[in-house]
Chains A and B, each alone.
Chain A
C-alpha cells in the first residue's frame, strides 16, 4: 500500500519544478498531518446525547437520506455517532433543536401510522411517506443537515467512516494536485501543445 508519504515523494519527483518550487515532501507531509489532525476518541458504545430510542429513530431517518444500496449508506458511515459527538461536543446549543426535530418526526409517524411504536419501528415505505409529509419543514432540514455533515465530514469527527461519503462522490482527500485537473483543461493543454 502506498503511504501518504511515499505518494508525496513520488508526486514531488514526477512534478518537476514549475509549480512545485520549494515544496518539499517533508513540508507537505507536515501540512497534511496538521490539516487532518483533530482530537477525537469516540468509544462508539455510549451515547452522550441520544437515548437508545432517539438513536434508533434518527438512524432510521438517516438511512432514508443515504440508504445502504449498491454503495454504503448512513449506517455504515457512522452518522449517528457523528451526530452524538457533534451535539455533545461541538454544538451543544443545537441539542434542543435536534431533539425537537425528532419529536416532530415521531408526531408525524403517529399521524401516518397511529399504531406504530416509533419511527424506527415502521416499514421503510411508511418511513418514506412520513418524511415526504415533512420534507419542507425546518425540523426535517435540521435532521438532514446533520446527516449530510455526518456523511461527508472529516472522518476524524466520527462520521464518514472509511471515507464512505467521499468515495461515493469521488472526492479523494489527497489535498495535493497538479494540472491537468479535469477533462477540459487537459484537452485545452493538448490542443495548445
Chain B
C-alpha cells in the first residue's frame, strides 16, 4: 500500500549525498530542495506512503488504527511528570507517521512566528529555573523562507489584516477561506471588546493553485488526510517535485534505529529495518535527521557508541532536553441558530492581541486565540457537551441533537517555557516492536504556562459571552498536560556547543556531516502553531546545507 511511482532507486550499499531520516513536514522539503539542487537523496520514512485516494473520513478507524499516526501498540512509550516519578506506559505523544508527516492530518493553521519569538529572552530577561534563550537567528533571517514556504506550499490568508503581524515581503498567494459562522461570531465579539480579529492563515487552498483543486469544505481537516489534495501538506506538490528530479528516492516503511559513524567521528549512513523486517544500512556522505521533536533526539540517543557514550551529538548533554508542547485550553459555546460548524476548515478567524502578555500580570507568556470546531461526531459525543448536560440516556440524545450544529469553540494557543527536566529519554526497560528501547517522556508544565493557558481560557469565555452564547463551558481545561502533538525544542539551536545541539546551519556541533531540522531545532515554543516555522527552517536549512556542500565544507 503505497504511492510508489516510478522513482529513482538507490542501493543501500551505494553512497548517496544525503540520507534524510523522516519524510514529513521538514524532511520532504529538505528532500525536494536538496535533490533540486543537484544532490542524490534517499529519504527514509518509518510510515507508509499513502496516496490521497487512500484517505477516508472514517473517524473511528483513523484513530483506532493509527492510520496516519504513530501506533501505541507497536511503539509504546512511557510518561512521567518529573524525573523523580515512576514512568508508566501511556501514549503521551502523537505524531504523523507517513510520508508528509503531521501536516497530512493537521488542522492547517499556518502562523508565522513574530520578531519577538526569536529575541524574547534578551528583550524580557531570562527566567530563573528555565533555559529561556534567544535563537541564534532572527525573524529577518527567516522572512524570505516564510514567504517561500507560503508560496511553494499554498497558503490562504490576508496580509496586513492583523496589526500585530511581522513584516512580510509578499502577500499570501491565496485569498482567505470563506468565513464560517464561528468566525463571524468571534469577529463580532472581538471587535466589541476592542480586539483585532483577522482571517486565519491556513495551509489549505481557497482557489485552484499550481494544478491543485480548491478546498471542497468537507470539514475533515484535523485528524484526517485531505482526499482533495487541497490541504497544503507536502503530498500534493513537494513530494512529486522531489521525485521528479530523478535524484530522490523516498523509501517508506523504513524504521531507522541508528546513525552510524566511522573512526573519525563522521556519520557514514543509517541502519534501518525495511518493510520485510530485514536490517539494512543506507550509506551517505551526510545525514539529515528530520524525524520530529521526539524521534530525532531518541535516534541520537539510540546511536550511542564508544566514541559517543551518551548518544550521538550529545557532548552538551542537551539532546532530548527542553521539550515544549505549547498549551491549548478550549471552551465551547451554544448559540440560538445553526452554525453547522462541521462544514469547511476548522478555524477561520484568529486574534493576536495577546501575543505578548502584559508583564504586570506577574507571569511570562503569550499566544493567540482562534474560533474553531474540530469535533467530528464521535469526538463531539464523547467530549463536546457541557458537564451540566446529561451524558447518557434520552436527554443525552436530545442534548447532542441540540448542541452539535449550534456549538462553536474558542481555543487559546500559548507558550511553553524550555525546562531541562522536560525531556525525551530512552526507557530503561520498555522496547518497541522492533526490539529498540522505547521513548520515555518526562513533562510538567511550568506554572507560568498553566497560568497563560488559563488566561486564554478566560478570554475565550469572555468572547463567547460577548458573542451572545446562551451556554458556555470548558472542553479542554488549563491544566498540566500529559499528552501532546507539538514536539519542540529537544535538540535546540545555538551558537554555544555547551548549551545547544546544532548551530544556525542546523549542523550538529559534534558531527560535521550530521544535520538536524524539525521541531527539535526550536529554542522557544512560539505561540502554538509551529508547523510553518518547522517547514520554513527546512527551506532555510536546505540553502545552508547546499552552500556548505558546494564549498566542500561538509
A181 to B65, CA, bound (A): 31
In angstroms, Cα B57 to Cα A157, docked, is: 12
- Asked if residues A23 and B61 are in contact (CB atoms below 8 Å), the reply is no
Complex Cα distance, B402 from A170, in Å, reads 9
Kindly list chain A residues whose C-beta atoms are within 8 Å of the C-beta of B65.
90
Nearest B residue to A145, CB-CB: B382
Instruction: Tell me, rounded to whole Å, the shortest Cβ–Cβ distance linking B431 to chain A.
Output: 17
The DSSP consensus for interface residues of chain B is loop
Distance (whole angstroms) from the CB of B333 to the closest CB of chain A? 12
Find the A residue at minimum CB distance from B225.
A35
Flag whether B183 is at the interface (Cβ < 8 A).
yes
Contact with A along B210-225 (1 / 0, CB 8 A): 0011111111100000
Question: Could you tell me the distance in whole angstroms from the C-beta of B235 to the nearest C-beta in chain A?
Answer: 14
Find the residue from A65, A67, A148, A166 having the highest chain B CB count within 10 A: A148
* A169 in the interface (beta carbon within 8 A): yes
What residue of chain A has the Cβ atom nearest to residue B183's Cβ? A185
The yes or no answer to A55 lying at the interface (CB within 8 A) is no
- Per-residue CB contact flags for chain A residues 161-193 toward chain B (1 = under 8 Å, else 0) read 000011011110101111101111101100000
Q: In the complex, which residue of chain A has the Cβ closest to the Cβ of B60?
A: A153
Q: Given A31-B53, A168-B401, A184–B339 Cβ distance below 8 Å?
A: yes
Q: Pick the interface stretch among B173-181, B240-248, B271-279, B434-442.
A: B173-181
Using a CB-CB cutoff of 8 Å, which residues 340-398 of chain B contact chain A?
340-344, 377-378, 380-382, 391-394, 396-397
Nearest B residue to A21 via CB reads B208
Closest CB of chain A to B173's CB: distance in Å? 14
A38 B377 Cβ-Cβ under 8 A: no
Whether the pair B217, A184 counts as a contact (CB closer than 8 A) is no
Contact A157 B60 (CB under 8 A): yes
A22→B219 contact, CB < 8 A: no
Q: How far is the CB of B205 from chain A (nearest CB, A)?
A: 9
Interface pair A28/B60, CB less than 8 Å apart = no
Indicate with 1 or 0, residue by residue over B162-202, a CB within 8 angstroms of chain A CB atoms. Answer: 00000000000000001111011100000000000000000
| Distance A178 CA – B337 CA, assembled complex (angstroms) | 18
- In the complex, are the beta carbons of B59 and A23 less than 8 A apart? no
Interface residues of B in 450-488 (CB under 8 A from A): none
Min CB distance, B351 to chain A, in Å?
17
Which of A38, A65, A91, A148 lies in contact with B58, CB distance below 8 A? Answer: A38
B206 within 8 A of A: yes
B219 touching A23 by the CB < 8 A rule? no
Question: Is B56 an interface position by the 8 A CB rule?
Answer: yes
User: Is B82 an interface residue, CB under 8 A from the partner?
Assistant: no
Q: Across the interface, do B381 and A38 meet the contact criterion of CB distance under 8 Å? A: no
CA distance A168 to B400 in the complex (A): 8
* C-alpha gap A11/B65 in the complex (Å): 34
Whether A184 pairs with B185 at a CB distance below 8 angstroms is: yes
Whether the Cβ atoms of B57 and A36 lie closer than 8 Å is yes
Residues of B within 8 A of A31 (CB): 52-53, 216, 227-228
Can you name 8 extra interface pairs (CB under 8 A) apart from A154-B61, A179-B179? A86-B60, A153-B59, A154-B60, A157-B60, A168-B400, A179-B178, A181-B344, A184-B337
**Chain B residues within CB distance 8 Å of chain A:** 52-61, 64-65, 73, 178-181, 183-185, 206-208, 212-220, 227-228, 335, 337-344, 377-378, 380-382, 391-394, 396-397, 400-401, 404-405
Q: What are the 6 A-B residue pairs with the smallest beta carbon separation, nearest first?
A: A182-B181, A183-B337, A21-B208, A184-B181, A152-B377, A169-B404
Residues of A in contact with B (beta carbons under 8 Å apart): 18-23, 27-28, 30-31, 34-38, 64-67, 69, 71, 73, 86, 90-91, 93, 128, 131, 135, 144-145, 148-149, 151-154, 156-157, 165-166, 168-171, 173, 175-179, 181-185, 187-188
